[in-house]
Structure 1
C-alpha cells in the first residue's frame, strides 16, 4: 500500500490560502482512445508537481505497440531534471502494485516481464509517457504514473484495453469443475486470460448469450443473458450480465470466461482426404509445419481472420469445434460464433483438424487504435442449455 505526503501538503496549501489555479482545456467525449489533454498550470512556487494522464482508456491488440500517456508540470520550472523521478506501476489489486518502469534523471530501470519492451517516450520536457512494445494479454489493465520532485509527488492512472474476444470455457471433465485458480490456468492453456467484467459486459452488448456461470479475473462469477428464458434464471427477468458476486476461490467451482486477442500467426483447417483421430490430428499439423490449434486461437481467428469453416475439427484440448462468420442453416444455426460439438472419444472418433502456424517474425502494431472487422458480427448466441 502506498502512502504519500502530497495530500497533507496540499491541505496546508489550502489552509494557508495560497493561490492555486489549474485550468484544463477539456477535450470532447470522443477522446476515449487516449489522446492527451493540454494542461495549463499557474502556481506560487511551492514545489508542487501536477500529473495529467489519458482520459478514458488507450486501446491496442496483442503484439502491437501502445503509448501510455502521462505529462507533468512542476514548480519551480528550473528544477534540476536529475531530481525528477518517474515511476510506472501496474495496479494488480486494490492495494497491490507491480513495478513496471522507473527513471531518475538519466538512470532508468525496467522490471520483470516488461524488460526489453517498455521505454520512456521522451517527447520533450514534462513527458513521462512510456511506450509498450509487443503487448501481451497480461499487459491488459490499469497503470499508475507517479512523478516525484524534492517537495511533492502526484499520480495519474491510465487504463490499457485490448481488442479481442470473450469466450466461455469448460474442460473435458465437465461443467462447473473449476475453482478460480484452475479456471485461470485453463484460460492460459487455451492462449487466453480470464476475462474482466468490462470485457464480459462488452461481449454481452454485442450479443453474447451464455447460460452457465463462469469465473472472471476479479474473482467474481457471472454470465451474460441476451434472451431471458426459464432455463436461465426465468423468462420474465431482464436481459443483462447476471452476477453471483465474489465466490470462494478454492472451494467453489464454475466454468470460466476467457479473453484472447489478435494472433501472431494463422489458424487454418488442414485439408486432408480422410478424417483422423486426435493423435493423428496432432501429427498431421506437425507434418504441415504447424501445431494443433488451441480454443482461444480458433476464437481469435474467427474474430480477426474472419475464419469461416463449416467443417468440424479437433483442437488441442480434445474438443471438436468450427467457426462460422456467415450463418447458414446447414452450419448450425442462425447466429455467428464458434460451434462446439463436445469432447468425443480421442481414439475412435474421426474428424478434421484446425492447425496454428506462428509467424516467423513478429510485426509490431501501430500505436493508433484499430477497429475490428467483426464489429457488427461478434455475437456468440447459444441455445437454452448454454451449449454452442
Structure 2
C-alpha cells in the first residue's frame, strides 16, 4: 500500500501551485509521515523515525513426521515504540510441490492461508486447523508452532506482519527428514506417467520427491541409472559413478535431467520420498515361510499390518533397521534392509535389497508395521 501512496503524494507536491488544492484521503494509522524531497525532488515519504522489521534466525527447518516444529518469526520497531500497537500477523504456505514447478504467470501457484491473528484473536485454516498456534514467548514473537507434522506439510511458510501501511514478511522452508528411493511398476521399467507415479508413491506412504530432495540423496550416495518422475514434473536420475548407458563416461557425476516431460504421454519410474515412520517396522517371526496371502494375515495376527515400501526404507535409513531376511511388502514385492554389510547379504553397500515382484504363491518372510 505504501508503494501506491507514493505516486499520489508526488503528484500532490507537483500540483500544489498557488491557488491550487490537493487533498489526501483521510487515513491515520498512528505514524507521522514527512516529506523528504528536499534537494532531490523524488517525493519519497517515510515513517517519522520508525521502521517495522520482520526477521527469522532460521530460513530452513527440518523435523520428523508426527513431531512438533517451530518456524521462527520475530518483529520489532526501530527505534522501539513506547506503547504497544495492534498488529496483524498472517502465516501462509506454498507446498513443496509448487515451489520449483514452472508455471505460467496466469496459473502461478498461490499461497494457502495457515493462520491469521490479531491480538488474542486467531484463526487457522484447512488441514492446519487445531494443529497450529503462535508461540508468543516474548514481545514480537510470532513463531508458528505446528503439531503432528504430516507428510504434505513441507514447503515454504511466509510470516507476514501488517501494521497499517507497513507490511513486512519473512519466509521459512520446512523439510521433513526422510529418504528418497526409486520405485518401479510391477510391470517393470518405465510404466508410470506423472499422475500414476504420484499415486504409486502415495500408495507406499510417500510422496514424489522434489529436485532438492533428490539432489540431497545424490550427495549422500544415491546412484540409480533409471530415470524417474519428480514432484515438479521433471524427469531425472542420480549418478555417482559415471558409466556407459548412464549418460556416458565423459559426463561428470550428478543429476541427469530430461527436463519437463508430458505428464500424460511419457512414462518413467518414480523417485519417492518417505519421512520417518511414526510406528515400528519389524520382521514377523514365524515358524515357516509364508505366501503373500498368509504374510498379510501373519501381520494382522501380530497386531500390525504388512509394511509398505516407503515404511521399510524409512526404517532402514532413519531407524537403522538391519535384517538379512527377505520378506513380503504390501505392494507384493520382496525386499530386505541392510545397514551393515556381511557375507551372503548382497552387495557391500548398505541399502534395501529387492527380489522384485515374485509370484504370490512363493514363500518368504514378511515385514510388518505397527
Superposed CA RMSD? 2.3
Deviation per residue, 1:136-170 (Å, 9 max, x gap): 22111111111111122111100112211111111
1:74 is displaced (CA, Å) by 3.9
1:185 is displaced (CA, Å) by 1.4
Name stretches of at least 5 consecutive residues in structure 1 with no aligned partner: 19-42, 358-388
In structure 2, distance between residues paired with 1:15 and 1:315: 71
Matched, 1:64 2:67: yes
Question: What secondary structure sits across from 2:324 in the alignment?
Answer: coil
Specify whether residues 85 and 266 from structure 1 end up closer, same or farther in structure 2 by C-alpha distance, changes over 3 A only: same
Q: Which residue of 1 aligns with 2:56?
A: 53
In structure 2, distance between residues paired with 1:268 and 1:323: 11
1:320 is displaced (CA, Å) by 0.6
Q: Which residue of 1 aligns with 2:368?
A: 355
In structure 1, distance between residues paired with 2:88 and 2:196: 40
Q: Which residue of 2 aligns with 1:77?
A: 81
1:260 is displaced (CA, Å) by 1.2
Matched, 1:144 2:158: yes
Specify whether residues 234 and 10 from structure 1 end up closer, same or farther in structure 2 by C-alpha distance, changes over 3 A only: farther
In structure 2, distance between residues paired with 1:126 and 1:17: 32
Larger radius of gyration: 2
Q: Which residue of 2 aligns with 1:205?
A: 219
Aligned pairs for 1:1-388 (under 5 A) are 5-7=1-3, 16=36, 44-45=47-48, 48-74=51-77, 77=81, 81=85, 83-92=86-95, 93=98, 95-346=109-360, 348-357=361-370
Name stretches of at least 5 consecutive residues in structure 2 with no aligned partner: 11-32, 39-45, 99-107
Specify whether residues 234 and 328 from structure 1 end up closer, same or farther in structure 2 by C-alpha distance, changes over 3 A only: same
Question: What secondary structure sits across from 1:330 in the alignment?
Answer: coil
Question: What secondary structure sits across from 2:344 in the alignment?
Answer: helix
In structure 1, distance between residues paired with 2:61 and 2:348: 34
The number of residues matched between the two structures is 327
Kindly indicate whether the alpha-carbon contact (under 8 Å) linking 2:34 and 2:47 is maintained by their aligned counterparts in 1: no
Deviation per residue, 1:360-380 (Å, 9 max, x gap): xxxxxxxxxxxxxxxxxxxxx
Q: TM-score, normalised by structure 1?
A: 0.79
1:236 is displaced (CA, Å) by 2.1
Which protein, 1 or 2, shows the higher relative CO under an 8 Å CA cutoff with sep ≥ 6? 1
In structure 1, distance between residues paired with 2:255 and 2:196: 23
Q: Which residue of 2 aligns with 1:384?
A: none
Specify whether residues 285 and 74 from structure 1 end up closer, same or farther in structure 2 by C-alpha distance, changes over 3 A only: same
Kindly indicate whether the alpha-carbon contact (under 8 Å) linking 2:59 and 2:171 is maintained by their aligned counterparts in 1: no
